[in-house]
Structure 1
Amino acid sequence: MKRKIALLLFISPFFGFQGQTQILKNLLGTSSSGPIPANEVLIQNFRTDLQELVQARYNNRLMGTTGYKNLSGHLEKRMQQLGLIRYGTVGYRSSFKFPVGRQLSVESKFYIEGKALHLNKDVLPMPFAPADENTAYLIPKVNEAHAPWTLPLPNDNITESNIARILKPTILNAQERGANAIYFYDDRNGSTLDLQDFAFKGADLDPDIRIPVWLISKKAWTDNFKNIYSVIPVNTVQRYKTTYEEGYNIIGLIDNKAEKTVLVMADYDQVLFDPENNPGANATASGVAALLQLSHILKAPEFKNYNYAFAAFSGSAKGQLGAKSFLNIPEMKSKIAYVVDLNAIGKLNANNDIFINGIASATRFRTAIKEVSEGYKPRVGMKYPYNASYNAFIESEIPTLSFSTGYPARPGGEDNITSINFNGMAQTLRFVVAVMSKVNQSGNIYFAKNNIEVNDEDLVIQKVPAPAVAKTLKTTTPKGPSSAQRLAQAKNNLKSNQPAGAKPRSNTPGAAAKLPVETPYYGASNIIIDFLGIGINELDKREGGAVIQSVASNSKGAQLGFQRGDVLLQIGSFPIFNAKSYLMTLERFKTGERAYYKVKKADGKTVMVDVNF
């Protein structure tokens, strides 16, 4: 009975009885009047959902894992508990296919002078490289542009799990220098490499590699290539079979029988940084928890001018697969009024910074945000990070707003439930609802194709000081100082040894120059692991070096002393300006070359590290 009474109070109408100013006060305030519960209720609801979402059974919730499947089932149950209408192809679930890897097909062939070499014994095509047919004439070890290259395997301990990472720098270097295929041969002393040990079940295609890549066993190299010094014909055919699994979007609906639907969305499958130590409390779980709470709030009468779909998407790391499959539903694009994305909203700072992407996708968004900005600091977020699902909607020319309170600059195990600002989550949700309320009042929302530039200053109300009231002044002849005043001034001048009229000296020491403070990186993350096992965030655009986000245990980088938080300043003679600069500089070096890394450590000291590529 108590629950029924609470629900009736929660959805009680107020739109027709209060002015617009009072409505916004209810939305942005902390009282329980209006459609949003009091902060204490919101915080408890957020805490309950987050405590569940960070459980170990959901960890490593990448598509295809047990944690991912467990979480999909949990979200279906939550949407049923919330009374949402099923909006999936089967219940709340909409399925789509995603590739889990490429396996070698028997149709692959390798011929040298008309002789067929045995797959998985003599030669092996690499599944992370594209499939292609190549017919060419070559001289072994003579490498020219627009021809296949024969290159020696590096002296690393090559396994199925590390071969792509080890060979990639060499492949990219040869690719840029004109190679149209690469044949890596094993001519190492004492090598026991057996190509039959490479099963490559579930290997992904690397989008950076544009040419076919093969391995040649030590025996096949010795018998067919090593002692050849003339031109020989080589014909190769690479074929793979791509295997697929099912991914899931979980979608519920509030049906107000309206013509258009507002889509409220969050990604639920990605765990940024280290999924073993960081359960993704902020990175994905905070957005999902906010989405669930909004399904309560948007049932209020004043939001009935739209339907509301609540979608937990997956597959963003693989090119927004879930979002794109949703958009491929017939007539879906035409039904969406606009999109609200909730992405990492658990870290509201003391400045109340809320980062918003997609503001320029509709002209109404900027004014709606500005009108409710008092007490907040809305800011323009990073421009459309590619590994977030909401980009699929902007690319489809659907007005979209993505809200975030930002990611930490240096991840270090802090993305757990103890690091969440629950009061900040409640305040952020109030801000989102206030923006939606303003947007809903403006009628139809249209996508802005003119790409208007938006700055932080455009999102807040600029307070103009009241003009000073002019006073009528009496005109009087100024009197000079009295004799007593002149005597006191003379005594003070003698004490301070300053001439009359000079400003007195201050005993307060000058303000010390402020040390530069690291600007946190707010926006998306795409961690690239290099050949040393060092993780660099490809989307981090801060200048002044590349910040190491992670170092794999037992990796070459760990053995050389690299640590999370180190800043890479220079490699050899090449300065490192930012994360992208570092990744591009790696491509300048060939396997076997050496260079010194200039590294700034956490204590501010600079060290030089000798690295063998």
Structure 2
Amino acid sequence: MLLQTLFLQGQYIPDFTPEIKQQLADRMYGHVSALAHDSMMGREAGTDGELKAMYYIASQFKNAGLQPLPDKNYWIPFNFSEGYTYKSGKISIDGKSYDQNEYFLYLNPLVNYNFSGNIFFAGHGLKDSDFNKLNPSFNKNIVIVIDINYTDTCADAANQQYMPLLESAVAKATSMNPEAVILVSSNVKKFPAIAGINLDKASPNIPVLCVGKTLSKKILKKNNSELHSECEFSKNEKTGYNVAAWIDNGKPTTLVFGAHYDHVGFGSSGSLSTDSAIHNGADDNASGTALLMELSRILYNSGTNKHNYVFVAFSAEEKGLLGSKAFLNQRIIADTSIIAMLNFDMVGRMNGTEQKLNILGTGTATEWDSLITAAYAGPVTIRKSESGTAGSDQMSFYLRNIPVLFFITGMHEDYHKPTDDAEKINRAGMADVLMIALKITEELDGLQKLNFVRGDTRGGDRNKRPGVTLGVIPDHAWEGKGMRIDAVTKDKTADKAGLLKGDIVIQIDDMTVIDIMSYMKALSAFKKGDKAKITYLRGQIENTVEVVF
């Protein structure tokens, strides 16, 4: 009855009464318990568990009175692949064939490697002049070859500048849309064939290969010769479902609220546990999805109508923000109409004694800081971070020049483990987050536009990780210098080196670590088997330990 009274007021409330807060907390906890039940099988995208969760969320939107988006059902399908499987492959030149894995490796796991074209030698591919003879935007029947022997700038492949330079060259080459890009080496001793490369900046649909010593010698002598590539492959395509509904007020501006509802299933991919068991993902992210559903119900019943309000439960976030990317690519809602996107991911573990909420993305619009200050003054402490590129679905919107906020109560040791269960949820804390989200929404209702600010995008896609890892969970709420460790995975690199939760990594070899982004960038300079010196603070004491990745 109290909730009904709240909804009939036709306006936002200044604060939740204890009775209303308890009812909302219980409702959200009920959603979390349902979504994080074993019967949902971990809600992995593309599985029956996801479908069960999808129907549950759609029914909640429908029961709340919200409508599907124009010409859509509540669930909106999209196809995705976690990577092609290549059964066989070969490259042919001058009538001779060379087999995959023995003579060359595929570096882009999401493309078809059947192509033909004439070899164009682009030198090191580091200068615009290396590509002068090519069309700047489209090069059909051209295979760009880059020599990865960067002796002029790097002593050998271990130099920390080497991979960033190579990534830049590949990005430039793929931007010209050739049939493929092939990496060869005129000095395999110092610059051997690479088995992997970060392709964040490269065009995603261009085949990229690296060849070994034998084929490098052959190709380097065959500029302008024709090259053929054949492969047998499986796309491993699956279907994911975003669940979306809206309050259509006929306005030119739209507020988008989002939360991913997928998790990692039985932990075959993405788990930080050695146990093969159902990963229920109560905090990650049944909590955010529960908040999203209750937020939609409150806004619908309040009658607020300053903007259109879109609510999306995204699929396949755990596989690289695929659901939010697909939603934007489908252009169901015009990017230009979206005033802002608010994302809720892991909002169920607020500390009961030190009530804090992390809001990331405050640097993506000039108005965010003052707006948040005006919206909420306590008792929960709000810790702000400017970056819009933290690894969740708001990043997809940020990269479309849309202001974003990312709400998260913090990381914990149950992250991506079977132990992330409903009984560990702080339901009262979730109600606090919901109240703060409502307050910020109320402030946004007084605006027709936010002034977008683009900052550092070095974070890249969530599914594009460094080639090596320490085996730790960074503390995304840490506001000091360095990368503070929030959890250490058993038997991984950091655990073996004796690093502990609370340690602050400040340097990796000669690379200074000032935040999570610089930590990730430093790791990208290493490959499996490399050694590195990790300098860290434990309390006020500086320590250094050598690790092997």
Q: Distance in 2 between matches of 1:149 and 1:397?
A: 34
CA offset at residue 40 of structure 1? Answer: 1.9
The answer to whether the 8 A contact 1:102-1:127 is kept is no
Are residue 282 (structure 1) and residue 262 (structure 2) matched?
Answer: no
Q: Distance in 2 between matches of 1:239 and 1:84?
A: 50
The residue number in structure 2 matching 1:437 is 442
Task: Sort the Cα spacing of 1:549 and 1:59 in 2 relative to 1 into closer, same or farther, 3 A.
Answer: farther
CA offset at residue 48 of structure 1? Answer: 0.8
CA offset at residue 289 of structure 1? Answer: 0.7
Are residue 342 (structure 1) and residue 347 (structure 2) matched?
Answer: no
Q: Distance in 2 between matches of 1:429 and 1:44?
A: 13
Q: Distance in 2 between matches of 1:277 and 1:566?
A: 30
**1:115-158 C-alpha deviation (Å, 9 max, x unpaired):** 52343585353243786868489xxxxxxx986469xxxxxxxx
Q: Distance in 1 between matches of 2:335 and 2:526?
A: 47
TM-score (norm: length of structure 1):
0.60
Query: Which one has a bigger Cα radius of gyration?
Result: 1
2:99 partner amino acid: L
The residue number in structure 2 matching 1:85 is 67
**1:516-536 C-alpha deviation (Å, 9 max, x unpaired):** xxxxxxxx9879465466356
2:407 partner amino acid: S
For the residue of structure 1 that corresponds to 2:83, the secondary structure is strand
Range 284-293 or range 102-111, more displaced: 102-111
Match of 2:80 among 98, 123, 127: 98
Of the two structures, which has the highest relative contact order with CA contacts closer than 8 Å and spacing of 6 or more? 2
| Identical residues among aligned pairs (%) | 19
How do 1:384-533 and structure 2 match up within 5 A? 384-385=388-389, 387-396=391-400, 398=402, 400=403, 402=405, 404-408=407-411, 415-440=420-445, 442=446, 445-449=448-452, 451=453, 528=465, 530-531=467-468
Q: Distance in 2 between matches of 1:74 and 1:231?
A: 58
How do 1:503-582 and structure 2 match up within 5 A? 528=465, 530-531=467-468, 534-535=471-472, 537=474, 546-547=483-484, 568=505, 578-582=515-519
The residue number in structure 2 matching 1:520 is none
Task: Sort the Cα spacing of 1:60 and 1:300 in 2 relative to 1 into closer, same or farther, 3 A.
Answer: closer
1:345 partner amino acid: V
2:427 partner amino acid: F
For the residue of structure 1 that corresponds to 2:73, the secondary structure is coil
Task: Sort the Cα spacing of 1:390 and 1:119 in 2 relative to 1 into closer, same or farther, 3 A.
Answer: same
The residue number in structure 2 matching 1:125 is 105
Are residue 373 (structure 1) and residue 376 (structure 2) matched?
Answer: yes
The answer to whether the 8 A contact 1:339-1:401 is kept is yes
Q: Distance in 2 between matches of 1:205 and 1:575?
A: 21
CA offset at residue 401 of structure 1? Answer: 5.2
Q: Distance in 2 between matches of 1:364 and 1:570?
A: 34
The residue number in structure 2 matching 1:28 is 15
For the residue of structure 1 that corresponds to 2:84, the secondary structure is strand
Match of 2:27 among 42, 45, 64: 45
The answer to whether the 8 A contact 2:376-2:439 is kept is no
Range 306-315 or range 555-564, more displaced: 555-564
CA offset at residue 320 of structure 1? Answer: 4.5
The residue number in structure 2 matching 1:268 is 261
CA offset at residue 50 of structure 1? Answer: 1.0
Q: Distance in 2 between matches of 1:205 and 1:230?
A: 24
2:314 partner amino acid: F
Q: Distance in 2 between matches of 1:206 and 1:396?
A: 19
Are residue 69 (structure 1) and residue 51 (structure 2) matched?
Answer: yes
Task: Sort the Cα spacing of 1:357 and 1:565 in 2 relative to 1 into closer, same or farther, 3 A.
Answer: closer
Task: Sort the Cα spacing of 1:378 and 1:149 in 2 relative to 1 into closer, same or farther, 3 A.
Answer: closer
1:175 partner amino acid: L
Q: CA RMSD in A?
A: 5.4
**1:416-440 C-alpha deviation (Å, 9 max, x unpaired):** 4344321122122223223333433
The answer to whether the 8 A contact 2:466-2:524 is kept is no
Q: Distance in 1 between matches of 2:362 and 2:241?
A: 28
For the residue of structure 1 that corresponds to 2:258, the secondary structure is strand
The answer to whether the 8 A contact 1:171-1:182 is kept is no
Task: Sort the Cα spacing of 1:29 and 1:178 in 2 relative to 1 into closer, same or farther, 3 A.
Answer: closer
Q: Distance in 2 between matches of 1:170 and 1:258?
A: 50
2:378 partner amino acid: G
The residue number in structure 2 matching 1:251 is 244
CA offset at residue 92 of structure 1? Answer: 0.7
The answer to whether the 8 A contact 2:183-2:211 is kept is no
2:17 partner amino acid: T
Q: Distance in 2 between matches of 1:68 and 1:581?
A: 35
Q: Distance in 2 between matches of 1:337 and 1:575?
A: 37
CA offset at residue 45 of structure 1? Answer: 0.6
Q: Distance in 2 between matches of 1:590 and 1:336?
A: 41
Task: Sort the Cα spacing of 1:270 and 1:319 in 2 relative to 1 into closer, same or farther, 3 A.
Answer: same
Q: Distance in 2 between matches of 1:603 and 1:360?
A: 30
CA offset at residue 545 of structure 1? Answer: 5.2
For the residue of structure 1 that corresponds to 2:257, the secondary structure is strand
The answer to whether the 8 A contact 1:546-1:568 is kept is yes
The answer to whether the 8 A contact 1:88-1:251 is kept is no
Q: Unpaired runs of 5+ in structure 2?
A: 122-129, 131-144, 150-157, 171-181, 190-194, 265-269, 456-460
Match of 2:163 among 142, 154, 172: 172
The residue number in structure 2 matching 1:292 is 293
For the residue of structure 2 that corresponds to 1:380, the secondary structure is strand
Q: Distance in 1 between matches of 2:540 and 2:364?
A: 43
Range 177-186 or range 91-100, more displaced: 177-186
